Amino acid sequence: MNEVLPAILPPDRAIFPAIEQKINLKTKPVGALGRLEKLAAQVALIQQSETPELTNPHVLVFAGDHGLAAEGVSAYPAEVTYQMVQNFIAGGAAINVFCRQNGLNLLVCDVGVNGTFAENTETFVKFKIRPGTRNMRQEPAMTADECGAAMDAGRTLVNGVAYRGCNVVGLGEMGIGNTAAATLLMHRITGLPLADCVGRGTGLDDAGLGRKLAILEEVSARYRSLTDPLDLLAAMGGFELAAMVGAYLQAAENGMVILADGFIATAALLIAHKLAPAVLEYCVFSHQSDEQGHAAMLNYLGVSPLLTLGLRLGEGTGCALAYPLLASAVAMLNDMASFASAGISQKEENR
């Protein structure tokens, strides 16, 4: 699998001085729009344009079940994955609401849900590898081929929306038990103690959290010899996590702006980052999750989120909520007057 990974290059920074000058000459003190200025510059760099555009934005939500859920690592039963995907299809979930509100297209993908769905539609597609991963406490969650197929599903969806003119994509997920998988990946990639990575997920009480930690310690020890990111992903990940890894890599290779969601989406990004470090330069971090460990993940990557709202839902909800800030940054760069065009005097040192 490593032999077919894309060679992702960082955006060419030769255009940056012109972008920076354009932002600094807007009718405001230098730096007065704070993070929006940096966000505008990042989008302009990614698109290699002083007049970037956000076209046909999408949120892609990948769904899959986890065999480890049978061990009681979640406060919700495994069948909730299937039920929530049905809710996405019906348009009733939080991500549906926020996408409609903010003008984003939603595309949900079944990469490994234990259940049968209707035919593909404009908003739902099936790339089911198998009905859930295996119980990683007993055997690897996926084979290498299955992990690769899930990554290919992510790549395929990204290329599909790119073909429709999409140049900004948010990545989200649904899968009961996936905070456990994400915790294990975080622990093994960052080297942080497992106790500092594990959280309550869908709302475990203290006893449930203690059991979850004990199980994850056992799982991590089982695969202690693994170090390659793709081996870790196959052994302790999930179909939706692998699909997001593929989606991150393809979106970066395509030169798209990527909105990263919370704890689970960032765990997938840890793997993508290990495989292709430059992927980080295409990512906008929408929010800091309330799930324990996410702040440490963001710190490990050396990035700052746009929002801190105490979210811990997943689904790509943070992406949909942060998108208006991205749109505002681009609008500022394109539409805000300069001192010269508005006939406004500048500070002496800026002349």
Active site residues: 315
Burial of 191 (0-12, 13-18, 19+ CB in 10 A): exposed
Helix (H) or strand (E) run with residue 324 in it: helix 317-335
Q: Please, are residues 320 and 262 in contact by the beta-carbon 8 Å criterion?
A: no
Q: Please, are residues 303 and 280 in contact by the beta-carbon 8 Å criterion?
A: yes
Q: Please, are residues 56 and 105 in contact by the beta-carbon 8 Å criterion?
A: yes
Residues with Cβ within 8 Å of residue 236, at least 6 apart in sequence: 136, 140, 141, 181, 184, 185, 188, 219, 220, 223
Q: Please, are residues 113 and 63 in contact by the beta-carbon 8 Å criterion?
A: yes
Q: Please, are residues 89 and 61 in contact by the beta-carbon 8 Å criterion?
A: no
